[in-house]
């Protein structure tokens, strides 16, 4: 989906419409992989094939106002944001990292955070972040095994584990074939990036594998609504850019 803006009464509102391609990739050992589509159907086939319960699915979030958010089935377990990496964002990211290194955050030990060391792997990392805290919805299989192995490890050790995992690599390869009419090359530079928002111990966390640590956005009572507030800030940093996507992990209405 791409964010389209309209300005009723001079007030910007954000609406989201389907897009064609995105960044979801995985490599195995020293082999890089092409990004695969972020379309909801491909994402759901990918995770359901890895053992995620069909009672749960990724669903499109068409807008960030309260009326649009109320259409999403509850409870929401995670929110994924696909956004463009721009000069404005990179400047903000560097300033944020510098600030947080000087001011220690409270990070719950229940948060499972993966560092991204694989090019074009932000989609896979985003999906893992959305599921690792809710592995009770994942049946026994390669994904469940990966999450269980990852939990006691450090973020960097989790990244190494992911690089060597063969089960996800095989599933990714098939998803890459299914998700693109003309798949991009393995070395293609993708300037769109996936991050994930989760709710742990009544706090909202932003999980971005490009960052050295999770971001604690403070106390939260509603994952979807509070994530939308943070996502609005992403959009405000690049008000002319339309490449924003929001997807929620929620009860599957088609099951």
pLDDT of residue 141: 87
Residue 242 lies in a domain: no
Give the residue-averaged pLDDT of 131-139.
Answer: 95
Can you tell me the mean pLDDT for 75-88?
95
pLDDT tens across 200-255, in order?
999 999 999 999 999 999 999 999 999 999 999 999 999 988 889 899 999 999 87
Active site residue 122: yes
* pLDDT surpasses 90 at 190: no
CA angle 74, 26, 124 (to 5 degrees): 15
Per-residue pLDDT for 95 more than 60? yes
- Of the residues 193, 196, 199, 203, which is catalytic? 193
> Is there a domain that residue 247 lies in?
no
Is residue 226 assigned to a domain? no
**Is 251 within a domain?**
no
Told to judge if 196 belongs to the known catalytic residues of this protein, a careful annotator would answer no
The helix or strand, by DSSP H or E, that contains position 175, with its residue range, turns out to be helix 166-179
- Examine the pLDDT at 180 and tell me if it is beyond 70: no
Catalytic residue among 38, 122, 199, 203: 122
Look at residue 15 and tell me if it is in a domain: no
Range in 20-24, 72-76, 85-89, 207-211 with the lowest mean pLDDT: 20-24
Q: Is 114 within a domain?
A: yes
Higher model confidence: residue 170 or residue 53? 53
Q: What's the mean per-residue pLDDT of the chain?
A: 81
Task: Give the Cα separation of 197 and 214 in Å (integer).
Answer: 10
**Centroid of chain to Cα 18:** 16
Position 189 scores a pLDDT of 53
pTM for this one? 0.82
Asked if residue 180 belongs to a domain, the reply is yes
Q: Which domain holds residue 87?
A: 21-215
CA 116 – CA 53 distance, rounded (Å) = 26
Q: Is the pLDDT of residue 17 over 70?
A: no
More confident position, 16 or 58: 58
Task: Identify the CATH number of the domain in which residue 204 sits.
Answer: 3.40.532.10
Q: What does the pLDDT average to over 167-176?
A: 60
Percent of the chain with pLDDT over 90: 61
For the ranges 10-24, 111-125, 219-233, the maximum mean pLDDT occurs at 219-233
Domain count, the chain: 1
Residue at token pair 């995985």? 26
% helix / strand / coil in the chain, to the nearest 5? 35, 20, 40
The verdict on residue 83 lying in a domain is yes
Q: What is the pLDDT of residues 25-52, one digit of tens each?
A: 333 333 343 444 457 888 898 899 899 9
Q: What is the mean pLDDT of residues 66-92?
A: 96
Residues in the chain: 255
């Amino acid at each position: 989906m791409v964010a389209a803006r309209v300005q009723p009464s001079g007030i910007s509102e954000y609406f989201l419409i389907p897009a064609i391609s995105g960044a979801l990739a995985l490599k195995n050992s020293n082999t890089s992989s092409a990004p695969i589509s972020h379309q909801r159907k491909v994402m759901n086939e990918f995770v359901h094939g890895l053992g995620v319960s069909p009672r749960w699915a990724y669903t499109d979030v068409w807008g960030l106002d309260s009326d649009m958010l109320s259409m999403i089935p509850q409870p929401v377990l995670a929110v994924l944001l696909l956004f463009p990496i721009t000069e404005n964002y990179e400047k903000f990211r560097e300033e944020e990292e510098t600030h947080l290194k000087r001011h220690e955050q409270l990070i719950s030990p229940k948060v499972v955070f993966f560092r991204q060391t694989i090019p074009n792997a932000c989609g896979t990392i985003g999906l893992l972040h959305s599921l690792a805290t809710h592995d009770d919805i994942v049946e026994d299989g390669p994904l469940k095994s990966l999450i269980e192995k990852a939990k006691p490890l450090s973020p960097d050790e989790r990244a190494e584990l992911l690089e060597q995992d063969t089960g996800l690599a095989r599933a990714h390869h098939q998803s890459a074939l299914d998700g693109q009419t003309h798949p991009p090359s393995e070395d293609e530079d993708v300037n769109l990036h996936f991050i994930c928002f989760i709710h742990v111990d009544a706090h909202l966390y932003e999980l971005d594998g490009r960052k050295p640590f999770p971001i604690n956005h403070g106390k939260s009572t509603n994952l979807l609504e509070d994530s939308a507030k943070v996502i609005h800030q992403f959009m405000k940093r690049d008000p002319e850019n339309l490449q924003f996507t929001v997807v929620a992990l929620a009860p599957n209405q088609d099951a």
